[in-house]
Amino acid sequence: MASMTVTRDPPVKDEITLDREHGLFLLREMLRIRRFEEKSAELYSAMKIRGFLHLYNGEEAVAVGVMQALRPEDNLIATYREHGQALARGVDPGAVMAELYGKMEGCARGRGGSMHLFDKETRFYGGNAIVGGHLPLAVGMALADKLRGIDRVTCCFFGDGAVAEGEFHESLNLCALWELPVLWICENNRYGMGTALEYSESETDIAKKAASYKIEAKAVDGMDVLAVEELAARFAEEIRAGKGPRFIEAQTYRFRAHSMFDAELYRKKEEVEEWKHRDPITILYQELDERGLVTQEDLDRMEAEVAKEVAAAVEFAENGAWEPVEELTRFVYSENGHESTYPDWPAQVTETREVTFREALREAMRQAMTEDERVFLMGEDVGRYGGCFAVSMGLFEEFGPERIRDTPLSESAFTGAGIGAALAGMRPIVEVMTCNFSMLASDQILNNAATILHMSGGLFNVPVVIRMSTGGGKQLAAQHSHSLEGWYAHIPGIKVITPATIEDFRGMLLTALEDPDPVLIFENSLLYNHKGELPADAGKVPIDKAKVMREGRDLTILTYSASLWRALEAAETLAEQGIDCEVIDLRTLRPLDDETIMASVAKTHRVLIVDEGWRSGGISAEIAARIMEQAFYELDLPVERLCGAEVPMPYPKHLEEAAMPLAPDIVAVVQRMVNHD
């Protein structure tokens, strides 16, 4: 384990072998970023570039210095102030400028803009604009490499502002705990927008904070490219030697405003001027000059070359095309569909055996891990404890701690790590104990998993599977019992599936793992103990189709998850009274299978939606609206909804039951609807 020392001694400059060629290269790299950005500011004023534009002027030595330590096969992930990193990494300046313009030729097809530069060839994973939100992704990318034995460094840039975010602390802990090959670069430019570090941190020594997680951490003069390069190279080497993560606090300063909207009321002009005396470009020029390695002519020639390069980038962007509006919804989901690995559910079931839904799910995970070495399970207590609902019981002993990974309580970090590992080519299954807890990871799910494919213009997909329990009925009160699947179904970019049968508990997971995009699986905790007949050769099932579970002619009940069994029970009671209900298991809330729903509406002309989730703005409202839009004239009476009561779930049994749509409630509503005629 790395020692936790914070060292601050300046690098021994004389020991840095600096030849003319390399010195001029570094100078040119910084100049290139500086001139590119000055031009960007000009183009912003000319309204060619819009949105937020965060410039890097003053901080160039950090990106340029660090980049010298990286190899082509290394990963890079950065914040929204990332033009410098992208250019220094070798992303084509024309593609960067076109991205700033929002043109199709941009490095993210114009979908990301200045804050979201992506590039596959240079392994540049954004451009991320949620402060601290990309740190868990770096953890996951490095985890993917460690699991596969790939020798690669993941380098993650972020600002001092991120240090106050929970994701910083969760990520550093996870990274240090698992000894992952991440080079963390904190660009401490002393401000997070207009808030100086001393107004946001009780401890302003950032390297010290990193060291408290047992990560070897060092502060460096971020205005001195040679110092940054020297430290980054040493740290990268140590990471490659298997010594775990390293952390650099690069002390720097931005010369311009936070973004183009910033009036800079929070700092004095004199302060900025003072820092400009420490301009990284001047510092390097002087250093080279002292060593007799540079001349004014060199600088003039460089300026001319850079000006030409920037002009060419602008011309490229100017000549670029706008994405046709018809392409608007491209890259919300991958276009290459499933890569089929697992056999389908057998058409004709011959031999079966009775197992619980929990066991069926466990078998699916076992099969996936046996057949695909990219699959691993990660979450709180999934290993040594066996899973809080005992779903993964025994898998730890079978597959070991690398593939059945117990995580610290850090929903955001481990869910984000799953997303990062998926980005890097793994097929992680992330288990979140309950959907209530998933709210702590909602940033990762909503802002990362659901957006990256689209934001990167189709470059990077996220094949992660996130499982979580849902639903009430166990007297677990208001922070363990909610049904939030409908809330997640609101989000484009993810798929939301809700297994209710043994086939689906077993087969949906396998299909989800083949899906190129993020899939959320909501498992009602009451169903884990259900038993069913599992075919000997059970395989995968579709995750985009609803299923008619009971044919009927008088009324359609649309439902999903545990409510399916209540609806089927109600249908039996109603059948005894001569009311013949059709019961449909929606199975998937996003995408909804409109075809199956509308076909049933056309058959029965009456619809009741049963949803354990809350009514207002819930999935039942969406379904009712779709029926109105697509099958209004088929209806004999208004669509009705039976939903969870709009209360935080209460603890006492009788109140909990009153808050959930149970079989007798369904019977009563159906009777009223049918007898209404």
Ligand X SMILES: Cc1ncc(C[n+]2csc(CCOP(=O)(O)OP(=O)(O)O)c2C)c(N)n1
- Which residues carry out catalysis? 411, 480
- Residue 29 or 160: the one with the smaller Cβ distance to Mg ion is 160
Within a 10 A sphere around the Cβ of 648, how many other Cβ atoms? 11
Question: What, of Mg ion, ligand X, none, does residue 49 touch, CB below 5 to 8 Å by kind?
Answer: none
- Residue 104 or 164: the one with the smaller Cβ distance to ligand X is 164
Number of alpha carbons in the 13 Å side-chain half-sphere of residue 357: 21
Smallest distance, Mg ion to C-beta of residue 253, A = 9
Smallest distance, ligand X to C-beta of residue 250, A = 11
- Residue 187 or 229: the one with the smaller Cβ distance to ligand X is 187
Nearest Cα residue to 23 out of 260, 291, 217, 241: 291
Contact 89, 124 (CB under 8 A): yes
Smallest distance, Mg ion to C-beta of residue 187, A = 7
Question: What, of ligand X, Mg ion, none, does residue 415 touch, CB below 5 to 8 Å by kind?
Answer: none
> Kindly report the CA angle at 549 between 548 and 554, in degrees rounded to 5?
75
Question: What, of ligand X, Mg ion, none, does residue 453 touch, CB below 5 to 8 Å by kind?
Answer: none
| Cα 351 from chain centre | 41
Question: What, of Mg ion, ligand X, none, does residue 241 touch, CB below 5 to 8 Å by kind?
Answer: none
Distances (CA, A) of 502 to 353, 465, 529, 541: 11, 19, 11, 11
Nearest Cα residue to 206 out of 192, 225, 193, 194: 192
- CA–CA separation, 268 and 191 (whole Å): 13
> Angle between the 619-631 and 594-604 helix axes, to the nearest 10 degrees?
60
Looking at the DSSP assignment, which residues form a beta bridge with residue 431? 379, 467
Pairing of β 588-590 and β 495-497:
antiparallel
- Residue 249 or 554: the one with the smaller Cβ distance to ligand X is 249
Q: In 319-410, where does DSSP find H-type helix?
A: 357-371, 395-399
Instruction: State the residues that interact with ligand X by CB under 6 A.
Output: 81, 129-131, 159-162, 187, 189, 191-193, 258
Q: Of all residues in this chain, which one has the CB nearest to Mg ion in the complex?
A: 159
H helices, E strands: number in the chain: 23, 23
- CA–CA separation, 527 and 507 (whole Å): 15
- Residue 158 or 399: the one with the smaller Cβ distance to ligand X is 158
DSSP labels, 146-212: HHHT----EEEEEEGGGGGSHHHHHHHHHHHHTT--EEEEEEE-SEETTEEGGGT-SS--HHHHHHT
Smallest distance, Mg ion to C-beta of residue 186, A = 9
- Residue 157 or 357: the one with the smaller Cβ distance to ligand X is 157
> Angle between the 225-240 and 60-67 helix axes, to the nearest 10 degrees?
40
Smallest distance, ligand X to C-beta of residue 267, A = 12
Question: What, of Mg ion, ligand X, none, does residue 58 touch, CB below 5 to 8 Å by kind?
Answer: none
Contact 256, 41 (CB under 8 A): yes
Smallest distance, Mg ion to C-beta of residue 191, A = 5
Smallest distance, ligand X to C-beta of residue 411, A = 16
Question: What, of Mg ion, ligand X, none, does residue 258 touch, CB below 5 to 8 Å by kind?
Answer: ligand X
The DSSP letter of residue 429 is E
Smallest distance, ligand X to C-beta of residue 276, A = 17
- CA–CA separation, 38 and 314 (whole Å): 12
- Residue 187 or 656: the one with the smaller Cβ distance to ligand X is 187
- Residue 79 or 171: the one with the smaller Cβ distance to Mg ion is 79
Smallest distance, Mg ion to C-beta of residue 131, A = 9
Q: Could you tell me the sign of the dihedral formed by the alpha carbons of 325, 331, 336, 337, in that order?
A: negative
Question: What, of Mg ion, ligand X, none, does residue 246 touch, CB below 5 to 8 Å by kind?
Answer: none
Q: Of all residues in this chain, which one has the CB nearest to ligand X in the complex?
A: 159
Give the pair of three-digit tokens for residue 311: 């002009």
Question: What, of ligand X, Mg ion, none, does residue 56 touch, CB below 5 to 8 Å by kind?
Answer: none
Instruction: State the residues that interact with Mg ion by CB under 5 A.
Output: 159-160, 189, 191-192
- Residue 74 or 187: the one with the smaller Cβ distance to ligand X is 187
Integer-rounded Cα radius of gyration of the chain:
28
